[in-house]
Amino acid sequence: MRQISRGKLIGLMIIAGVVWSSLGVFSDWEHLAASLRQISLKRMLLVLGLSSVNYWIRLARFNWLTGRVAVAPIKKDINSMIFFSGLSMNLTPGRVGEVVKAFYQQKLFGESAARMAPIVLAERLADSLAMLVMIGVGVLSFRMGEEMFLGLLIIVGFIVFILHRRNLGRKVVEILAGFPRGRKLAEPFSRLLSSSFNLTGWQPMAVGTLMGVVAWVFEAAGLWVLFLAAGIDVSIKTFIMTMFIFAAAAAAGFVSIIPGGLGVNEISTIGLGQKLLGLGYPDALVATFAFRAVTLWFGIMLGIMSLMYLERVRSKE
């Protein structure tokens, strides 16, 4: 597990370096240096603090979702480390690697991995709905992004609709049970479907989405802090625009399936910052890269350290 994460980390750091260097080539280097000087250490620490609030809110949601489906006793301190380990999986396409959390819940708590895996799905759906809310605020306020909002709404709505077709799930289980090799998969698949249905009901989705909106607004506030360094006005309007930029870029990066949304997220943030806030290219570039360094790469490092800790705990079991 550690070796896989380390290899992905090195590979994506190289890719990120190439992408960021390529974007920097098109900048005015004197202006770029001036923009860098505007990003103070205090400002970066504030962004880190806002991003940390995001993590803690999402951690509370993860523990709450775990409690809804867990059968075995769950240790909250270890479960919290399991949540943070998932941050390292921002390196995987669509963050699907976060199912590693179910693996550790199985190994450390004796839980069913099939029962716990849908927690990741519930988190992703709640985050997607949270991004829709944030994009929706921009749509209502400034009449922009209607196509993106509608497209994401259709995708998320379709996924929730399929997950709640219980008869379809039962038929799949029956088909699996009809084959000798499929019988071993029928019971775990049935647990997976039951857990998915439980976690994607209206109550967990409403609570999860609300917590997601609060968490991601705090992180978007970090991007706003960096945009302020570039000279934009301190106002509700620029904050809502920044929130829209953050959510739209995050959605674009996620839909692209590129690990970490590398390149797509950065280009979207820079382009929208220029178009909607009137930022110069060097200012938008520096703010975007500073933000990604604090959010994406800090989270990945935290996730790697959590994985290492969990491996030590598992080796003592």
Q: How confident is the model at residue 231, as a pLDDT?
A: 87
Average pLDDT for residues 258-281, to the nearest whole number? Answer: 87
Nearest Cα to Cα of residue 314 among 125, 98, 103, 77: 103
Kindly tell me if the per-residue pLDDT of 45 is higher than 90: yes
Q: How confident is the model at residue 282, as a pLDDT?
A: 86
Q: How far apart are CA 216 and CA 237, in angstroms?
A: 18
pLDDT (tens digit per residue) in 198-218: 898 889 999 999 999 999 999
Neighbours of 63 (CB within 10 A): 16
Indicate the pLDDT class of residue 2, thresholds 50, 70 and 90: very low
Least confident of 27-41, 72-86, 159-173: 159-173
The whole-model pTM stands at 0.85
Nearest Cα to Cα of residue 8 among 81, 84, 93: 93
Angle of helix 236-255 versus helix 118-142 axis, rounded to 10 = 140
Q: How confident is the model at residue 77, as a pLDDT?
A: 93
Least confident of 17-26, 71-80, 247-256: 17-26
The domain ranges of the chain are: 1-12+72-117+209-317
Indicate the pLDDT class of residue 50, thresholds 50, 70 and 90: very high
Structure tokens at 43: 């400002």
Kindly tell me if the per-residue pLDDT of 37 is higher than 90: no
Kindly tell me if the per-residue pLDDT of 159 is higher than 90: no
306 SS3 class: helix
Q: How far apart are CA 144 and CA 53, in angstroms?
A: 29
Q: How far apart are CA 10 and CA 15, in angstroms?
A: 9
Least confident of 37-41, 77-81, 92-96, 148-152: 92-96
Query: What percent of the chain clears pLDDT 90, i.e. is strictly above it?
Result: 43
pLDDT (tens digit per residue) in 58-75: 999 999 999 999 988 899
Nearest Cα to Cα of residue 259 among 69, 90, 54: 90
Q: How confident is the model at residue 104, as a pLDDT?
A: 93
- Cα radius of gyration (the chain): 21
Kindly tell me if the per-residue pLDDT of 151 is higher than 80: yes
Indicate the pLDDT class of residue 90, thresholds 50, 70 and 90: confident
Q: How confident is the model at residue 134, as a pLDDT?
A: 95
Neighbours of 5 (CB within 10 A): 21
Q: What is the mean pLDDT of the chain?
A: 83
Indicate the pLDDT class of residue 1, thresholds 50, 70 and 90: very low
Nearest Cα to Cα of residue 38 among 228, 221, 236: 228
Higher pLDDT, 133 or 148: 133
Structure tokens at 312: 């030590």
Task: Name, in order, each residue with C-beta under 8 angstroms of 309's C-beta and a sequence gap of 6 or more.
Answer: 81
Structure tokens at 96: 């699907």
Query: What does the chain come to in residues?
Result: 317
